[in-house]
A and B are shown apart, each in its own frame.
Chain A
Amino acid sequence: MLKTFKYGGVHPAENKLSAGKAIEQLPLPKKAAVLVSQHIGAPSKVVVAKGDTVKVGQVIAQSAGFVSTNIHAPVSGKVLKIDTVTDNSGYKKEAVVINVDGDEWLDEIDRSDTLETSINLDAKEITDKILQSGIVGLGGATFPTHVKLMPPSGMKANILLINGVECEPFLTSDHRLMLEKGEEILMGTQLLMKALKVKKAVIGIERNKPDAIKHLSKLATKHEGISVCPLKVKYPQGGEKQLIKAVTGREVPSGALPISVGAVVNNVGTAFAVYEAVMKNKPLFERIVTVTGKNIEKPSNFRVRIGTPVNELIEAAGGLPEDTARIISGGPMMGKAIPTTDVPVTKGTSGILIISEEAGHRKPVENCIRCGRCVQVCPMGLEPYLLMTLSENKKWGKAETEKVMDCIECGSCSYTCPANRPLLDYIRYGKTSVGQIIRSRK
């Protein structure tokens, strides 16, 4: 029996169309729009002005608090303007727009491919370097990584989990990274282990990526304390709490952080970024993005500079198909449908998924037939049907006691509902409203 988490979960068709495609470097865009809020927490403070010339890797916006991080210029050239740019949700957010001119990197960045294996820094220095390099969780949640490496006083991590699950259908960026940059990921894991002062790290990979499991298992024998744990294919195994449960059997208490059970979870992409930042002095200004979809000409995995508009990625993958209904930034389960293709790539863009007209619309909502499937698939043991009704009727007090705040927004309930009820839409609304009430109490 392969390990997995206990309650709920669904298994959508995997559709990993681009799994066999090697990572390609996407050509530089003409203009890059770098949003100052690409992570969870306070938006960074812009430190460049219109007309400044920036080099690749230069800090253009500085961390504005503990839960915040630096943002670096992904391209070199002149700052065209500091203006608002439409983000994933259609809202206009502050961004630094840079006119690309050549590709001039900061001198201290090591652009060679040689593998660095000697770690000369201590825990504090590694964490600092991670903060300076603007590294955030690259799985999609974009939580600043340095915060995870600094547990609150009294709590101590004893295991590091590296998330190579990639349970979202279609996405393959982590998969490709594991195959192509296995050594680097393991070095990054070593660095994270050192920063956290833990002796043990486990890389969780679902078994639909047998090549990645084999490759990393082989490499991991050379690294003390790191092992690979194959997992059963089940969504949402990439969720922090679910991954911890699956690999270690520990259950993160309701409302608590993973550190309360001594675990810290980082994505394989993050581990790779950590390696590059610490060993190669390369801050986070590019990432791997899967461009995929059933109708797209060539599903691909690109290495993309942050700030590149989404349409350039789509063009590189063969252009937008005629009958596109929606474009999703991220995976189909938790990603966000974007309103226009001018949206720039951010640190959290793990994939661009194109969905055709045929599959791209919601079906009409019918009456709840109380089949209880949402209850069965909920990985957090909640009752989505009930939370939806409570949110609909604005019964916030009851919603709170029914643990609406525990919802991880994985979407399994809406995915599975035979009556096409928008369960998650309402639960998210409930979460926001209850969250406001809880905050106002403090």
Chain B
Amino acid sequence: MSEPLLYTVIILSAIGIAAAIILYLVARKFHVYEDPRIDQVEEALPAANCGGCGYAGCRAFAEAIVKDNSLDDKYCPVGGNEVMEKVASIMGLEAEQKAPRTAVVRCNGTCEHRPQTHNYEGVQTCAIAALNYSGETDCQYGCLGFGDCCTVCDFDAIHMNPETGLPEVIDENCVACGACVEACPRDLIELRKVMPKYRKVYVACRNMDKGGPARKACKVACIGCGKCEEVCKFDAITISNNLAFIDSDKCKLCRKCAPVCPTNAIIEENFPPPKKKQAEEKESKPAEA
């Protein structure tokens, strides 16, 4: 009675062997050679797939590096210099050193500073709001406050502050991938060089209107008066389109510019408070930022 069993075993084994042979042949025929370095490079990358490098993901970035066999214009902002050096050693190339950067929101148009003039009822995303209207205030350059930057952030590094209606960056988490920069239809977010203790001095405004209308729309708008430009010893401040800009690569954090600004549009962040007030202002420090 074991005959059927025997046949079954034989037939199944035969099918198995035949399938194995076919598989082997097909695999040989359609084998695609892939540079093993792609895998190695990918291994070295942070696997965040954020697209901060400008490629579709870590794998695509690795492929591009191996294909071009160069590291020009290729930098992983998430991994930073450390990872790039690892990649460079795999590739046998020299890695370019870049100063780490962090995102900064250049708008301080809180509800208090920038009165709401009308009420927007469409879809609550910045992209769609900006497409149709100038926002809920008179300032057509400022933050729309729907948080597209927060939605795109993969690193939990930017959040809306419900009190001010503005996004706030958590410097420790920010990897400068640039996703928020791209998501912001107002071009408010800038990647600035990281200074010790995340100290920053920047112009928190993008209003390119002339002084009068800018001031009318928002109390803390940059009016392009040029006082900060005069006072800066390092040529870090330039004024164009009625708007001052502080170059973070040139800025030495001397903080001369902030006090001269008539509208308080220049913001100093993460500096120790003045000594005499230190005690009382300790708690309000984050708010000041």
Contacts and interface: CB of A to CB of B under 8 A. Distances in A.
A422 interface: yes
B132 A339 contact: no
B121 interface: yes
B1 interface: no
Given A90-B135, A339-B134, A429 B128 contact: yes
A432 interface: yes
Interface string B88-128: 00000000000000000000000000000110011100011
A339 B121 CA distance: 12
Contacts, number: 44
Contacts of B128: 425-426, 428-429
A426 B135 CA distance: 17
B177 to A, nearest CB: 17
Contacts of A362: 121-122
A361 interface: yes
B131 A429 contact: yes
Interface string B128-145: 100111110010100000
B213 A84 contact: yes
Q: Which 4 A-B pairs have the closest CB atoms?
A: A90-B134, A339-B118, A425-B123, A91-B134
Contact of B132 (A89, A340, A361): A89
B63 interface: no
Given A84-B213, A428-B131, A432-B131, A92 B121 contact: no
Contact of A425 (B122, B134, B213): B122
Contacts of A429: 123, 127-128, 131
Given A84-B209, A84-B213, A428 B132 contact: yes
A361 B120 CA distance: 10
Contacts of A84: 209, 213
Contact of B118 (A340, A422, A425, A432): A340
Interface in A397-437: 422, 425-426, 428-429, 432
B213 A92 contact: yes
Among A90, A91, A422, A429, chain B packs the most CB atoms within 10 A around the CB of A90
B205 to A, nearest CB: 16
Among A89, A339, A432, chain B packs the most CB atoms within 10 A around the CB of A339
Interface size class of A (residues with CB under 8 A): 10 to 19
Interface of B: 117-118, 121-123, 127-128, 131-135, 138, 140, 209, 213
Contacts of A422: 122-123
11 contacts: A89-B133, A90-B118, A90-B140, A92-B134, A92-B213, A340-B118, A362-B121, A362-B122, A426-B123, A426-B128, A429-B128
Interface string A78-119: 000000101001111000000000000000000000000000
Contacts of B117: 339-340
Interface of A: 84, 86, 89-92, 339-340, 361-362, 422, 425-426, 428-429, 432
B83 to A, nearest CB: 28
Given A92-B140, A426-B128, 8 more contacts: A90-B118, A339-B134, A361-B121, A362-B121, A425-B123, A428-B131, A429-B127, A429-B131
B281 to A, nearest CB: 38
Contacts of A426: 123, 128
A361 B121 CA distance: 8
Nearest to A365: B123
Contacts of B123: 422, 425-426, 429
Contact of B133 (A339, A428, A432): A339
Contacts of B140: 90-92
A89 B135 CA distance: 9
Contacts of A92: 134, 140, 209, 213
Contacts of A91: 133-134, 140
Contacts of B209: 84, 92
A90 B133 contact: yes
A361 B128 CA distance: 18
Contacts of B213: 84, 92
Among A84, A91, A425, chain B packs the most CB atoms within 10 A around the CB of A425
Contacts of B121: 361-362
B130 to A, nearest CB: 10
Among A89, A92, A362, chain B packs the most CB atoms within 10 A around the CB of A92
Contacts of B127: 429
Contacts of A86: 134, 138
Contacts of B122: 362, 422, 425
Contacts of A89: 132-134
A131 to B, nearest CB: 31
Contacts of A428: 128, 131-132
Contacts of B131: 428-429, 432
A339 B129 CA distance: 13
A89 B209 CA distance: 17
A428 B133 CA distance: 13
A90 B120 CA distance: 11
Contacts of B135: 90
Nearest to A429: B128
Among B117, B131, B209, chain A packs the most CB atoms within 10 A around the CB of B131
A54 B177 CA distance: 54
Contacts of A425: 122-123, 128, 132
Nearest to B134: A90
